[in-house]
Amino acid sequence: MHLEDLGLIGNCQFSALIARTGDVVWCCLPRFDAEPVFSTLLDETHGGYYTIGAPEGTAGEQRYMGNSNVLETTFQTTTGTFRVIDFAPRYTQFERTFRPTQLIRIIDPIDGAPSVNVSCQPRLGWSKLTPQVIQGSNHVQFLGYTSPLRLTTDIPLSYVNGQAFLLTKRHYLVLSWGEPVAQPLVGLCENYLHETLRYWQRWVKHCNIPPMFQSEVIRSALALKLHCFEDTGAIIASMTTSIPESPGSGRTWDYRYCWLRDAYYALEAFRMLGHFEEREQFTRYLLNIASAHPELHLAPLYRVDGTSDLEEHILADWPGYGGDGPVRIGNAAAQQIQHDIFGEMVLALAPIFLDERFRAERTPETFKLLERLARKAIAVAGTPDAGIWEYRSTPTPQTFSSLMSWAAASRMATIAERNTPALVDEFRQAAEHIRGQIIAQAWNPDIGAFASTYAGKSLDAALLEMANLRFLPPTDPRLHSTIDAIRAHLSQNGWLLRYREDDGFGTPNMAFLICSYWLVEALATVGRLAEARDVMSHIRTACSPLGLISEDCDTTTRRLWGNFPQAYSHVGLIHAAFASSPSWAEVL
């Protein structure tokens, strides 16, 4: 099973990964960080699965229907052709978004007399126990879950056990969590399909996109939207857990949670796309978290409901992706100190007070939180932490964390100019102090770059963000020198590694995809647009055939590794595409 052969569907409540063979290989219900119902992604032998495919098990051809998150897989068999349409309903009704916890699969004969294989074999989460099955006249109910799990279909139930049958007409299957299907099945599914396609295609029409790299941006936008948990406003890092960053590395982490840092970058991508409701929803999520932490002792990540019970466990009886474990649930990074998150939260909230379109969201509560976050960022600047890459070693002062503290103070000074002039001097002086500290402590003339840590000698691809954050003027030679040093020493076949140091799990040997997109953005920001476009044209080839991206890439084989799809990577692509593309005024 390769990540490049998986398609993503979802509706901002749950998601599923579907292989070209027609297998649902990963699906957690009723939300992203719940236990898996289908799980052959991490245990091909004993994990749960839900197959609709060719009896021979051959792979089909996948594509998304139009600009949507509706997936179509077409199977060519020896006797005919059929397709499977997979989606999770999502559309607007009664001025609310309708997103039931339902996975809908439609089997559609195209030509000839194809046979099809259907088998639904869920498992009871991490226990991998088989649920008790009760058959009705047109449904199968699986017992043992916290809510009813039911498969409703117009296929004879005798055939929903893996026995091949002749496909003579269009068939419908609805897997529902919670409320069962009570309406006529055919009309329900056809209406859901029509409305869901219409919703996504209208959503895309309302996206801003650049003239170049349009298809990549559209797919990244659609994939990124599926990482939003609309119920609370959380934005998760990825749909999966424990896909190794590289074979045999042991770098297997659970990413089904909301990293505050990643959420900021995602919100900036949505801003570029012209979608703003995600910021409003995330602000509520952040306010709820902050209210429980008066001293702003924020964790780097939280569950989608804002809780932080994320103790990390290894599941010994799970072999892992391709047998390459360990499988982890929870994430010990939730206990780390990562000082950059305070700066990123200031940047996430800043548009509310700088963009007149968000005037209605300017509340005393939000401004007070912004002020507290900025002061917290200033207070921790230059102090030891685990940093953006979550080193599981002794904390040291991380240059990137201080960079984000500077950004918090700088942006807060700008906000104060427009809202509370009495605070301007405090934050402007703090910004200048932190800038001076970074230059004095992190600039290393021996390597011709800002180092990853104070008084350090190593390079960190995250410091490419100095350009985008406007830490130095775009003509400053130290900025160009840092970009060039990172590009020269962290490059691998035209993609960038995060760093080249042993971090306790060995030295990384896979490209971390967002770093390459940061390089594009940095080059464009300092005026080296031709170079930016050359890099972008090269690294865009890391996308899967469906346009999806994971966290890491083997730059020799182009195999994708790391949790999949990765919101961070799609965010990076969107940022880089806008930065390196001409404006529409230059094209039309």
For residue range 432-451, list pLDDT tens digits in order.
999 999 999 999 999 999 99
Per 3-state DSSP, the chain is made up of helix, strand and coil in percentages (nearest 5) of: 40, 20, 40
pLDDT digits (tens, 9 = 90+) for 152-188: 999 999 999 899 999 999 999 999 999 889 899 999 9
* pLDDT reported for residue 524: 98
Residue 95's pLDDT is what?
A: 82
Bridge partner residues of 6 (DSSP): 19
Q: Distance of alpha carbon 226 from its chain centroid, rounded?
A: 8
Query: What pLDDT shows up at residue 108?
Result: 97
Q: How many CA atoms lie within 13 A of 302 on its CB side?
A: 24
Distances (CA, A) of 469 to 400, 433, 447: 11, 17, 22
Q: Mean per-residue pLDDT for 177-203? A: 95
Predicted local distance difference test score (pLDDT) of residue 505: 78
pLDDT number for residue 507: 83
The arithmetic mean of pLDDT across residues 200-225, rounded, is 97
- H or E element in which residue 433 lies: helix 424-442
Nearest CA among 510, 462, 506, 467 for reference residue 486: 462
Q: Percentage of residues in the chain with pLDDT exceeding 70? A: 100
Torsion of CA 350, 354, 357, 360, to 10 degrees: 70
| Interval 484-492 mean pLDDT | 97
Q: How far apart are CA 193 and CA 458, in angstroms?
A: 52
* CATH numbers and ranges of domains, the chain: 3-204 (2.70.98), 207-586 (1.50.10.10)
> Dihedral through CA 329, CA 332, CA 334, CA 336, nearest 10?
-170
User: Confidence band (pLDDT; 50, 70, 90) for 533?
Assistant: very high
Q: Does 202 have pLDDT greater than 90?
A: yes
Cα angle: 26, vertex 27, 29; to 5 degrees: 155
pLDDT at 143: 97
What band does 6 get if pLDDT is binned at 50, 70 and 90? very high
Give dist(CA 358, CA 279) in Å, integer: 10
According to the model, what pLDDT value does residue 129 have? 97
- What is the arithmetic mean of pLDDT over 553-575? 96
Q: If DSSP codes are grouped into helix, strand and coil, which group holds residue 303? A: coil
pLDDT of residue 294: 83
Lowest pLDDT segment from 125-134, 208-217, 499-508: 499-508
Question: What digits encode the pLDDT tens for the residues 284-334?
Answer: 999 999 988 888 999 999 999 999 999 999 999 999 999 999 999 999 999
Residue 416: predicted pLDDT: 96
pLDDT at 295: 87
Instruction: Give backbone dihedrals phi and psi of 204, rounded to 5 degrees, phi first.
Output: -65, -40
Band of residue 93 on the pLDDT scale cut at 50, 70, 90:
confident
Eight-class DSSP state of 287: H
What pLDDT does 94 receive?
82
Mean pLDDT of the chain: 95
Q: What is the mean pLDDT of residues 519-532?
A: 97
Write the CA distances from 520 to 176, 401, 460, 475, 500, integer angstroms: 43, 21, 16, 17, 20
Segment 484-501 mean pLDDT? 95
Across 461-490, b (16+ Cβ under 10 Å) vs e yields: bbbbbbbbbebbeeeeebbbbbbebbbebb
**Does residue 569 have a pLDDT over 90?**
yes
Q: Is the peptide bond before 565 cis (omega within 30 degrees of 0)?
A: yes
Report residue 140: phi and psi, to 5°: -125, 130
How confident is the model at residue 118, as a pLDDT? Answer: 97
Position 588 scores a pLDDT of 82
Residue 29's nearest CA partner among 40, 19, 20, 39 is 39
Distances (CA, A) of 321 to 2, 39, 44, 246, 298: 9, 10, 8, 11, 32
Does residue 89 carry a pLDDT above 80?
Answer: yes
Cβ proximity of 343 and 410 under 8 Å = no
Is there a contact between 243 and 39 (Cβ–Cβ < 8 Å)?
A: no
Which pLDDT value is given to residue 38? 98
- Residues 519-534: what's their mean pLDDT? 97
pLDDT band of residue 336 (cuts 50, 70, 90) is: very high
Supply the pLDDT for residue 291. Answer: 84
Q: How far apart are CA 256 and CA 331, in angstroms?
A: 9
**Banded model confidence at residue 421, pLDDT cuts 50, 70, 90:** very high
The predicted model gives 569-575 an average pLDDT of: 97
Closest CA to 43 of 125, 149, 151: 125
Q: CB under 8 Å, gap of 24 or more: what pairs does 495-499 form?
A: 495/539, 495/542, 495/553, 495/555, 496/461, 497/461, 498/389, 498/460, 498/461, 498/462, 499/389, 499/452, 499/458, 499/459, 499/460, 499/461
pLDDT of 504 higher than 80: no
* Res. 374 pLDDT band, cuts 50 70 90: very high
Sign of torsion over alpha carbons 336, 340, 346, 350: negative
Which residues fall within 8 angstroms of residue 436, CB to CB, at 6 or more apart?
none
Q: Which one has a higher pLDDT value, 201 or 179?
A: 201
3-state SS, 324-381, equals CCCEEECCHHHHCCCCHHHHHHHHHHHHHHHCHHHHHHCCHHHHHHHHHHHHHHHHHC
